[in-house]
Structure 1
């Protein structure tokens, strides 16, 4: 912190009324973005469980209905309410949630004997993040397909239009993402509020026809179903996962809307609405087994089924938003951790740092989702692929959370072993059930996950190789300046100011070293500039830059640290103008400034650092890195890019 910031009066923050309005807006936004996936499960979950076309259908009788409704209730309670909302969402990385936040916490505290375990768990977590990216591709495809297929209920002639309409909706959905999750949440929030209220009202109506269904709240029915009919219950668990798809999105999207706002929406509206609706559907099936063909829509009176179909269509389209925004969070955090290249990220809110838009991820997801739609052509074909990615990610999050609780928070060993063991056993039971669906489509998220995992670990390994070689070539900055002071290398001084962007003050920028050693020139004034991003929307100009001399004052070499808020463009020329006003920065001739960037050209080398195919993959991935000159707002006509070639 600078002296100015230390002396500044504390910001009292927004007034209580403003804070309340902002929180209400974020809760509504969370309802529109975060809960779409888990909130639309009642449309198909129970129907899938009792579907006679399923490879392992559940016979319809009173015990099975009570048992399954009880299993659904306790699954939502254990997985979502207890684990994610009450426990996992407390493990955040500066407000960011999701599996990448857990990996960050692990990497911050890897020491001594635990280092190898930590690295192994981090790799395990990266695979979980890769599975979540697979879920981010499958969920929009199956959600939008199921929504558009619902139009056939109104008129079967829409059948030939299902794929074209689905494709148009997907393109529009992804095209609208650049508006930001805050804007999307304000638009989708009221629709989802109407949706959850409709779920609750329909559920209450169903319960009134068979109030005995309320007995399913007792865990004895779930236990009796699981252990008394295990040969049926085990296969049914693969479909029960459908009721909590989207649980990981709650955690991953925490940075978008905040833990408190997501918790409020879940406890006060979403969970009660889901519970009432599942129980209402169970009551309908108990009343007549024939209702299993469509228990959700049969909850509505005949006159209300067309409006309900339209509302369900809108809700399932919105469901795609939860995993899309979650994918942005995962990609952003993976980039910061070094598992993906630097991506162009747009921050879309002044109140929540996590509300972001990542263009490259957005368009990659859109192409992937469209590919799945045209390849599988129906939601039924994708149904069995749905659960594997979800439960795989949840299981990995459970393992990482237990390790964080024990190693970082010093939770009692008995508590971690007991509580974590029970949670993990619960997850593994669901995971085992989903392996029975591998030949029916569950292989798809595994293939996507393995592919994404390979890209991320390859980039991380390649980056380590390049960084080590770059540090070797750059050498210590102090040593380079000392040699320069002694006249090595011999250089001619030219007027003007040269700005070299660097990651700190430890090493000499490659561009500065190359300019002096190869061109044998130096500018009268030299600025080594580092750029830092602060976790606030904007940094005041008085706190923007920190300037200090490198070496003797008459040598004209200074280091500038430029600090930007996450909502601000990282405008290096503007920061340099502020640096000129400070004592150490006076004498900088900004009208005659040249900006130097170091760029690395990668090529595969003979050294066995990685397999040849991984080298090619790493080099190909490097092409998506955001352009540095554009990112830092450098004038193209005064920017010099000095390249260096590194073999991997």
Structure 2
């Protein structure tokens, strides 16, 4: 899940400022490919782990390398880079953007759209489940080079890994603008280095180049029968991070990502894998750590430093990607509002969400302390991501069938092929569940439950408030028959339902017994597209009352005062003087009641989440000195 905002430069929703194709490609190398780029640290080694029972002989090594090569070609190159990057949702990518695109192609409110939403949210939850493993396994695998350099340093691997990870999470609040500038060059050096090392090792055993022939993969399955499919549980480690290519499309664009992959990243990765295979063919004992043992003795310490830097960059991309996906989920109404801090004056996409940061840190530290080695973590890695890739294929088929009339003749047959590959990966990874793979699955199911409970709870809460509410079109005429005292200024009442009298207005009339000169019923709507091109809609009701609708895309930061300040060119515009405007909001206290909209345990869970959610005023960036908040109790 390596989505990162740190290198995005977006002066316009679909532009990248003055950065050229080469600059964007370099940025993509540093951010998009950080996760998949560190996979050579452990993939070959894990394929020959004792629990798979493989012997590092000639045919088996070539068979494993052939499977890795064709997995990269089919899953990453063909599926994600060539095809899925075409499925841009107003320039943005990722499983939630793909879900919104698929839902748009189906009848609104229908069962199909509902099931697509379930698939998308479940995929995003699984994406998080495997995503938190990336920092732990990447940093551990890099620091394990200490053991190759000096075996007596084995006991230092976990403490050093924890120090690196804690430092990484602790510095998130300062932003990644400065660090982001070096992501691309450092990762480019990493890819060049592993490619050169691969070439050096291949020259010793050029026989390994025959692995690009798919016959070796077929021969492997023929020799190992159905039991051979479980080795795909290790092969998938080579493609984890491939889904991030689509997630990061909005930050760099499809063309820079394609160029970086086709001409730089893919060749570097394959040279590294083939080089490690050549080393194992030459010396089967090197399988204990073919990555570091393929480095000359004099270069192992510099390689340890470079590998640690590369894994920190990969981890950074996962963390900032967590912030980005969490903001999308907030905007789409799947998780409670949280405090969002902006860490850059120039780039709006650079954000820091303390709750997400510290939650991820706790989980990552627990993984390092619980598994204590990258080999142990590898048994937990890949279960969720294989399911996410399967869901991506299903959603892609829906989008291609409905929205791509010219391409679907060849895309749909390819989706059938991808489906077979994805099912094989899922089947292989199911065997990992009892060995540690249960962790990302349980975490993913937990997150899915939270997301669905919040979404459903908000719907039930809205329905209850509508039942208790008074219709605006009948209330206002009656109010104006005997109007209360009018006071100067503008009152803005935030409401989720345009047709119902806001609770805040009722409480203001009840307790203060006054009505402002101008009264605005403001509704904020989040669209299923990344960016809104028609921000404001203003409707005059009469007698000093107005309806205002503000639309934000799910990738935008909702800033209500700023949006209102730009209303001057809108038909029916109102002059919003910041010093003469007061915002009124209601904060509901949710009480769980039996036999209502959800099971009691989910209602209590929703009430807990609602109680700890950040207030709408802070999320919409409403200044606290212009805010009046009124409370109300609602049973659900």
Cα displacement string for residues 588-616 of structure 1 (whole angstroms, at most 9, x for unaligned residues): 78655432112211110133321121112
**Structure 2 match to 1:432:** 427
Indicate if the aligned counterparts of 1:497 and 1:590 stay in contact, CA closer than 8 A. no
Aligned residue among 280, 283, 296 for 2:278 = 283
Q: For residues 581 and 379 of structure 1, do their structure 2 counterparts lie closer, same or farther at Cα, with a shift above 3 Å needed?
A: closer
Q: For residues 26 and 412 of structure 1, do their structure 2 counterparts lie closer, same or farther at Cα, with a shift above 3 Å needed?
A: closer
Distance in 2 between residues matched to 1:378 and 1:589, nearest whole Å:
59
Distance in 2 between residues matched to 1:238 and 1:429, nearest whole Å:
9
Deviation, 1:456, is 0.9
Deviation, 1:546, is 6.2
**Structure 1 match to 2:5:** none
The 3-state SS of whatever aligns with 2:110 is helix
Deviation, 1:352, is 7.5
1:36-75 alignment, distance < 5 Å: 36-51=34-49, 54-75=50-71
Aligned residue among 509, 522, 540 for 1:549 = 540
Aligned residue among 601, 604, 610 for 1:622 = 610
The 3-state SS of whatever aligns with 1:596 is strand
| 2:517 is equivalent to residue 528 of structure 1 | no
| 2:493 is equivalent to residue 500 of structure 1 | yes
Cα displacement string for residues 155-180 of structure 1 (whole angstroms, at most 9, x for unaligned residues): 34433433333222212212333454
Deviation, 1:413, is 7.3
Aligned residue among 464, 474, 477 for 2:472 = 477
The 3-state SS of whatever aligns with 2:26 is helix
**Structure 2 match to 1:35:** 33
Indicate if the aligned counterparts of 2:90 and 2:530 stay in contact, CA closer than 8 A. no
| 2:559 is equivalent to residue 570 of structure 1 | yes
The 3-state SS of whatever aligns with 1:386 is coil
| 2:215 is equivalent to residue 212 of structure 1 | no
Instruction: Tell me the TM-score normalised to structure 2 length.
Output: 0.88
Distance in 2 between residues matched to 1:353 and 1:91, nearest whole Å:
24
| 2:373 is equivalent to residue 378 of structure 1 | yes
Cα displacement string for residues 316-346 of structure 1 (whole angstroms, at most 9, x for unaligned residues): 2222233323323332222222221233445
Q: Which moved more, 1:444-453 or 1:137-146?
A: 137-146
Q: For residues 13 and 172 of structure 1, do their structure 2 counterparts lie closer, same or farther at Cα, with a shift above 3 Å needed?
A: closer
Indicate if the aligned counterparts of 1:205 and 1:299 stay in contact, CA closer than 8 A. no
1:192-231 alignment, distance < 5 Å: 192-231=187-226
Give the gaps of 5 or more residues in structure 2: 1-10
1:134-145 alignment, distance < 5 Å: 134-145=129-140
Distance in 2 between residues matched to 1:537 and 1:583, nearest whole Å:
21
Q: Which moved more, 1:409-418 or 1:71-80?
A: 409-418
Distance in 1 between residues matched to 2:99 and 2:37, nearest whole Å:
28
Instruction: Tell me the TM-score normalised to structure 1 length.
Output: 0.87
Deviation, 1:622, is 1.9
**Structure 1 match to 2:506:** 513
Deviation, 1:63, is 1.3
Deviation, 1:71, is 1.0
**Structure 1 match to 2:546:** 558
- How many residue pairs align between the two structures? 623
Q: Which moved more, 1:289-298 or 1:235-244?
A: 289-298
Q: For residues 326 and 253 of structure 1, do their structure 2 counterparts lie closer, same or farther at Cα, with a shift above 3 Å needed?
A: farther
Indicate if the aligned counterparts of 1:237 and 1:430 stay in contact, CA closer than 8 A. yes
**Structure 2 match to 1:464:** 459
Aligned residue among 374, 377, 402 for 1:407 = 402
Deviation, 1:272, is 0.5
| 2:97 is equivalent to residue 104 of structure 1 | no
Aligned residues: CA RMSD: 3.3
Q: For residues 256 and 473 of structure 1, do their structure 2 counterparts lie closer, same or farther at Cα, with a shift above 3 Å needed?
A: farther
**Structure 2 match to 1:299:** 294
Deviation, 1:455, is 0.7
Indicate if the aligned counterparts of 1:206 and 1:284 stay in contact, CA closer than 8 A. yes
| 2:145 is equivalent to residue 150 of structure 1 | yes
The 3-state SS of whatever aligns with 1:247 is coil
Q: For residues 630 and 22 of structure 1, do their structure 2 counterparts lie closer, same or farther at Cα, with a shift above 3 Å needed?
A: farther
Q: For residues 343 and 24 of structure 1, do their structure 2 counterparts lie closer, same or farther at Cα, with a shift above 3 Å needed?
A: farther
Deviation, 1:58, is 1.4
**Structure 1 match to 2:7:** none
Deviation, 1:372, is 1.8
The 3-state SS of whatever aligns with 1:549 is strand
Distance in 1 between residues matched to 2:258 and 2:576, nearest whole Å:
52
Deviation, 1:568, is 7.2
Indicate if the aligned counterparts of 1:348 and 1:356 stay in contact, CA closer than 8 A. yes
Distance in 2 between residues matched to 1:174 and 1:240, nearest whole Å:
30
Which structure has more helix as a fraction of its residues?
1
